[in-house]
Structure 1
Amino acid sequence: MSKETDEEFIAAYESAKLVAQNGRQIVNGGGPGVMYAATKGAKDAQGAVSVVYYDPKHASHFEGQAGVNIADASDKESNYIERTKKLMELGDAYVVFNGGTGTVSEFAMCWAVSRLYFGRNKPLILYGSFWRKILDTFWKNMKVRPEEYRVIRYATSPKEVLHYLEEYERMYERYHNIPEGECVGDECELFLLPLQHRRPAVVPVQHA
């Protein structure tokens, strides 16, 4: 669990504070650590916060709801899967900070859904330079597609987080009413980056 002096706690606090100052609501899992940091940042900016926590019957290792994580609205789910689903439904964008296995699974789910709705996906912002090494490792060792990297943004400051959110919102307002199949050019690829990774071409070798 992140402490208030940890880098990711401070980053989440400052990012949520800036995002809330600019009129956006914060949603998190209602727990301690980075989740509490996001709530604290938003509330210190007089912003609104919603949390989704869960209360499993048989799980022996889970963070649960943090008493200090006081939000304006809350949802309670029975298990981790339903909680993740609810968070994804409520969020209009996802900002992922450093964390443990819960963070890994939530990031993977958001990434997979972004791929499924490729071109009309919700923003997926990874906070921290370390993410590039992780994503490069996936590329080198797993069968991920080149286009899957186009749904990801990397941020190393709260200002970059806000910039990417504003960038997406401008594109969304401009293009979201265009019927699928009738778009041309950029409106077909909301919030997508150019290809960052490419598989090497396989050239057949002819033998005499």
Structure 2
Amino acid sequence: MHTGKTIAVFGSSRRDEQSSLYHEAYKLGHILAEAGYVVLSGGYNGSMAAVSRGAREAGGHVIGVTCAVFDPLPPNPWLTAEIKTPTLLARLQTMLEQADGYIAVRGGIGTLSEVTLAWSLLQTRSLAGKPLILLGADWQPVLDALRSHTDLGNSIAALARIVATPADALTALLVPPTPPGPPPLG
């Protein structure tokens, strides 16, 4: 079964194969591919490789959005297609535009920038109707800190949904996101 939909997975390049977070990303890729989704990631190592590997081993189509900034680093071997971009900003724009939804696993500052840009574009309705799912308990303290130290309101916070497992992430993809309140004025 192919849904015709592409899911971007954001995550760390620093996961080794023995890590429980690597195995979680692998399982996520596997589950997404089994459900018929195309899996899109940054295309390199760590969580990106894990989700790619899981999807590919489940027979899925796997796209890596790579970047000339990282040359000569090769993409991971589980990709079925590569989109090469000239800059990190172009890479992120490509990932956001190509995907029908987003799932973030635990990562670093790059993952955080991917999540916050997607979140901001959901708030302004530039990515209206696309789910943003944060996989794992590590995201709750991040969300709590943002609520405590920014002007993040409940309707905007609700655009990002935290789930516990890859199976929960798949289920969350099927539930339309709650629309935000009126768009901000600037």
Where on the TM-score scale, by shorter chain, does this alignment land: which range?
A: 0.7 to 0.9
Aligned equivalent of 1:174: none
- Look up the equivalent residue of 2:83 and give its one-letter code: D
Q: Does 1:80 align with 2:88?
A: yes
CA gap 1:135/1:21 in 2 versus in 1, 3 angstroms: same
State the partner residue of 1:59: none
Residue type at the aligned position of 2:55: A
**CA contact 1:15–1:159 (8 Å) conserved in 2:** yes
Give the structure-2-normalised TM-score.
Answer: 0.83
CA drift of 1:166 comes to 2.2
**What is the aligned counterpart of 1:107 among 83, 108, 115?**
115
1:24 maps onto 2:10 in alignment: no
Aligned pair 1:42/2:55, yes or no? Answer: yes
> For 2:175, what is the secondary structure of its paired residue?
helix
What is the aligned-residue RMSD (CA, Å)? Answer: 2.2
Q: Identify which of 187, 192, 198 aligns with 2:178.
A: 192
Alignment partners' CA distance in 2, 1:96 and 1:26: 13
Measured in 2, the distance between the counterparts of 1:64 and 1:89 equals 25
Q: Give the distance between the partners of 2:138 and 2:154, measured in 1 at CA.
A: 20
Structure 2 match to 1:198: none
| Contact kept in structure 2, 1:32 and 1:65, CA below 8 Å | no
**How many residues align structurally?**
168
Secondary structure class of the residue paired with 1:110: helix
Change (3 A) 1:95 1:106: same
Q: Where does structure 2 lack aligned partners over 5 or more consecutive residues?
A: 1-13, 182-186
Give the distance between the partners of 2:51 and 2:117, measured in 1 at CA: 20
Higher strand share: 2
Task: Determine what percentage of the aligned residue pairs are the same residue.
Answer: 26
Alignment of 1:1-208 (within 5 A): 1-56=14-69, 65-117=73-125, 120-168=128-176, 191-192=177-178
Does the Cα contact within 8 Å between 1:118 and 1:151 map onto a contact in 2? no
Q: Following TM superposition, by how much is the alpha carbon of 1:193 offset from its aligned partner in structure 2, in angstroms?
A: 8.2
Q: Aligned-pair distance for 1:194? A: 10
- Structure number with the bigger relative contact order (C-alpha 8 A, sep ≥ 6) is 2
User: In structure 1, what residue type is equivalent to 2:77?
Assistant: N
Provide the rounded CA distance (Å) in 1 between the counterparts of 2:143 and 2:104. 13
d(CA) in 1 for partners of 2:122, 2:72? 27
Residue pair 1:17, 1:43 contacting (<8 A) in 2 also: yes
Q: CA deviation at 1:118?
A: 8.0
1-structure distance, mates of 2:160, 2:47: 20
Structure 1 unaligned blocks of 5 or more: 57-61, 169-190, 196-208
Point out 4+ residue stretches in structure 1 off by more than 6 angstroms.
Answer: none
CA pair 135-193 structure 1, distance change in 2 beyond 3 A: farther
- Rate the CA distance shift 1:157–1:193 in 2: closer, same or farther, 3 A: farther
- Quote the Cα distance in structure 2 between the aligned partners of 1:64 and 1:146: 43
Mark the structure with the bigger radius of gyration: 1
